[in-house]
Structure 1
Amino acid sequence: MVEELAQADDAVAACVNAAVWALPEHDLVAALDAAHRLQQRLAAVTLTLVREIDGRGTARAHGASTTAVWLRERLRMTVPAARRLVDLATALDTGNPGIRHALADGTITQDQARVIADTATTVTASVGAEVAEKAVGVLVEWAGQFDPTLLRRIGSRILDHVAPDLADAAAAAALAAEDARATRDRNLTLSAQTDGRLRLTGTLDAETAGLLRAAIDPLSAPTGPDDGRSPGQRRHDALTDVCRLALRTGDLPEHGGDPAQIVVTTDYDTLTRQLGSGTLDIGVRLTPATVRRLACDATILPAVLSSAGQVLDVGRQRRLITGPLRRALVLRDGGCAFPGCDRPPRWCAAHHIHHWADGGPTNLDNAVLLCGHHHRHIHHSHWTVRLGDDGHPEFIPPAWLDPDQLPRRNHYHRRR
């Protein structure tokens, strides 16, 4: 097998740098179909090898805790992807052989094979292997017309086609099996990158997916016609707002003996000179602008150090806009005070108009409510904010936007 795979590897390598631009359209499409079919047939070989390795206990012999962990190191896969590979290899080996044969023939894809195998498992558990074999035959045939998503949807009612007299009784079992798979496959991976960013990957069960969508969808809408953020950036910022809200509730469990919080460590002198970077308690460095923006948020505790590294103050109470002062601020602003924003108070942080790091006082005359998006915007743009003669905040646009720089106000939250 190793020699034959080496020959196949040589054949594929010869195609990598082929002059595909010279192919007529018919041959180009035919080559794509052939490459895709070969990919599925190789997937069948891979699954056969994974099943044998798993059955022999090779992973434990090599010191890994599971085959999935061993595959992660050997093939540089994520553990969830490796686990799905092992599960599918097991299903194709112990279940209906028709699925494995169809994959080996290149007539179905690996994703379709997973859908058919899941359906076969459910049907076997509910009505028996004989009906499951019939269902596999129907789904393999339909795989030539439907993608994995539609195939799974059709598979949920496969008994209507192969055993209509048993369909209603098995529907509840199928739903329960689908729920069990969702519970089993749920995962969330946080992968730290070298620059301090974090990559999120995972699969949510139906309930959690609904909760997440309910939480971030309202916050993911564009803030106005000039909102230049992409949909992905808006969802990112919405998740940031949800996390800020969760921290602000104070209901999260303690972590390491301390309340859930972010600690930014910086040097006091460099902070007041607007030059100092900062470091999160997880070791990630922050730009001076980010440190100054975080210093405004009442849910962020700054750890200010002297020149000798001694802690001078951690979250000075006179800096935090909390309690009666925040309630007064909410009564005055009603929500994000930036013109045109309708975000409610619970999604807002209190911003010091005259920065606390510059000696600004913590009082109602020096504070304004801003949502996460506009809080960042104020810190990273040429907009300025002040209180008008009536004590309500007004925002001065940059000259490039309005040469007259006429003050603007938010009218969404005005109570009078």
Structure 2
Amino acid sequence: MALVLAEVQQLGVAAAGVAVAPLWQLSDTELTESLRAARWLEQVARFVQARLARQGDARGLPAAQGYRSTVEWLRAVLVLDRGPARELAADAVVLDHPAVAQAVLDGDADLRQAVVIAQTVDAIPADLAGAGGCGVSGAGQIVQDAETTLIGMTGRLPVNQLRRAGERILTYVAPQVADRAERALLARQEARADRKRGLTLSVPIDGLVYLSGVLGVEDAATVQAALHPLCRPVIGDKRSSAQRRVDALLEVCRLALRSGELPADGGEPPQLSVTVAYDPLTQALGIGTTDTGMRVSADVVRRLACDARILPVVLDGKGQVLNVGRRRRRATGSLRRALHVRDGGCAFPDCELPSRWTDAHHIRPWTAGGRTDLANLVLLCRRHHSIVHDPATGWKIRIGPDRHPCFIPPPTIDPTQRPRRNLYHLRQ
């Protein structure tokens, strides 16, 4: 058996023994130092994996064993998902930088930090001649100084912060060429972002559609500017930051649909169509199917039916079309403007969202014969629209004697169920 294999196996046995050793005897200091030592051990073991993966690639083992790439080979040999396999293959870049590799082996840097350092110094332009008197030898010195400086930062900066420092490393080590090199770097990054940008939506999996994408810096700034006003934390809002961002994205899309400025789709304004099974005897709605083939519950259908851009296609029990929407359902034109004037924004008690971020909700559901007129409509933001459509919340709406909407809270919020109004918009 080769020496390397035997020693790696012996280390594995020793580490497995340590893994189940009692820890109660350790002092606080010893526990902390043991944690650091275990982390160093992990990084050294990963370094060994990177070396072995590099050697396998150099020998052509992936192709010889029928794999299309080193990543696919690592996935099969180590039973890894694509992400970890790709990361392991990328770790090999550290091996081209002896000083960086030694920092990992000495415990001064973890492997992810080392990869960032290697990628950063590799991105420094090789030709810095003519800038501040730097020639070929000067460029080499700049690379060495950058590498040394970044290694010195590993004790203080985690990976993301180290990457940010790397983006401006020439400002530290070679300010005379930093501006020119940064312009060249940004040009390369922008060109790469333009090629790599993209957005995908998965097919529904257990009721969830996974959205993933890659944006350039400029694109991301545009998206953040649109989302930020809609996803700021609000007192009493129990949504996570991620949930606030996705709700903000949906609001931006709904606003775009309501604006009437989107290009026509199939000769008509963009809209969401829902096919709904309908029982004329019970007047009950069944499960709906969107025009993208996604199934939604009857509760979702009822909520969507309030939106001005929803066009239900109602079927009877035999699947025959009974009605392709009712255009009078849509609160548009002068009716929508009247709602804006009356409600001022989301009419739910003390919601601050303006009219442009609201749906026109039918107090008596349109699917139950409710009319599309001012006396049966109220403006609600998407969050409060969902609340009033959920019977479990217990909120009810009625139009008061002055023809303005009142909200009756459930007994759990107010035992007297005294009607409430939005005082925020009434102050405007």
TM-score (norm 1): 0.83
Higher relative contact order (CA 8 A, sep 6+): 1
What is the distance in 2 between the residues matched to 1:185 and 1:286?
33
Deviation at 1:83, TM superposition (A): 4.9
Select which of 69, 91, 94 maps to 1:92.
94
Partner of 1:397: 409
Query: Which residue identity lines up with residue 100 of structure 1 in the other structure?
Result: A
Determine helix, strand or coil for the equivalent of 1:153: helix
What is the distance in 2 between the residues matched to 1:59 and 1:253?
48
Determine helix, strand or coil for the equivalent of 1:408: coil
Partner of 2:372: 362
What is the distance in 1 between the residues matched to 2:66 and 2:313?
43
Partner of 1:213: 224
What is the distance in 2 between the residues matched to 1:289 and 1:243?
21
Report which stretch shifted further, 293-302 or 406-415: 406-415
What is the distance in 1 between the residues matched to 2:316 and 2:331?
24
Deviation at 1:60, TM superposition (A): 6.2
Would you say the 8 A contact 1:272–1:357 is kept in 2? no
Deviation at 1:263, TM superposition (A): 3.6
Q: 1:27 to 1:240 in 2, by over 3 A?
A: same
Deviation at 1:7, TM superposition (A): 4.0
The gaps in structure 2 that reach 5 residues or longer are: 129-138
Report which stretch shifted further, 351-360 or 164-173: 164-173
Select which of 32, 37, 56 maps to 1:34.
37
Deviation sequence 1:171-190 (CA, Å, 0-9, x none): 43344455456557756565
Report which stretch shifted further, 16-25 or 106-115: 16-25
Partner of 1:315: 325
Deviation at 1:251, TM superposition (A): 5.0
What is the distance in 1 between the residues matched to 2:270 and 2:68?
32
Q: 1:124 to 1:285 in 2, by over 3 A?
A: same
Partner of 1:107: 108
Partner of 2:134: none
Q: Give the 5 Å matches for 1:399-414.
A: 399-414=411-426
Report which stretch shifted further, 404-413 or 389-398: 404-413
What is the distance in 1 between the residues matched to 2:361 and 2:273?
18
Q: How many residues are aligned here?
A: 412
Deviation at 1:71, TM superposition (A): 5.6
Q: 1:350 to 1:69 in 2, by over 3 A?
A: farther
What is the distance in 1 between the residues matched to 2:56 and 2:324?
54
Determine helix, strand or coil for the equivalent of 1:346: helix
What is the distance in 2 between the residues matched to 1:202 and 1:36?
32
Would you say the 8 A contact 2:280–2:316 is kept in 1? no
Q: 1:84 to 1:252 in 2, by over 3 A?
A: farther
Report which stretch shifted further, 305-314 or 152-161: 152-161
Partner of 1:134: 145
Aligned: 1:231 with 2:241: yes
Deviation sequence 1:206-237 (CA, Å, 0-9, x none): 223322322222212345x4433333332332
Select which of 247, 264, 283 maps to 2:274.
264
Query: Which residue identity lines up with residue 241 of structure 2 in the other structure?
Result: P
Partner of 1:14: 17
What is the distance in 1 between the residues matched to 2:6 and 2:268?
59
Determine helix, strand or coil for the equivalent of 1:264: strand
Q: 1:235 to 1:274 in 2, by over 3 A?
A: farther
Determine helix, strand or coil for the equivalent of 1:47: helix
TM-score (norm 2): 0.81
Report the identity percentage.
47
Query: Which residue identity lines up with residue 385 of structure 2 in the other structure?
Result: H
What is the distance in 1 between the residues matched to 2:258 and 2:76?
40
What is the distance in 1 between the residues matched to 2:326 and 2:427?
33
Query: Which residue identity lines up with residue 172 of structure 1 in the other structure?
Result: R
Q: Looking at CA atoms only, which structure, 1 or 2, has the larger radius of gyration?
A: 2
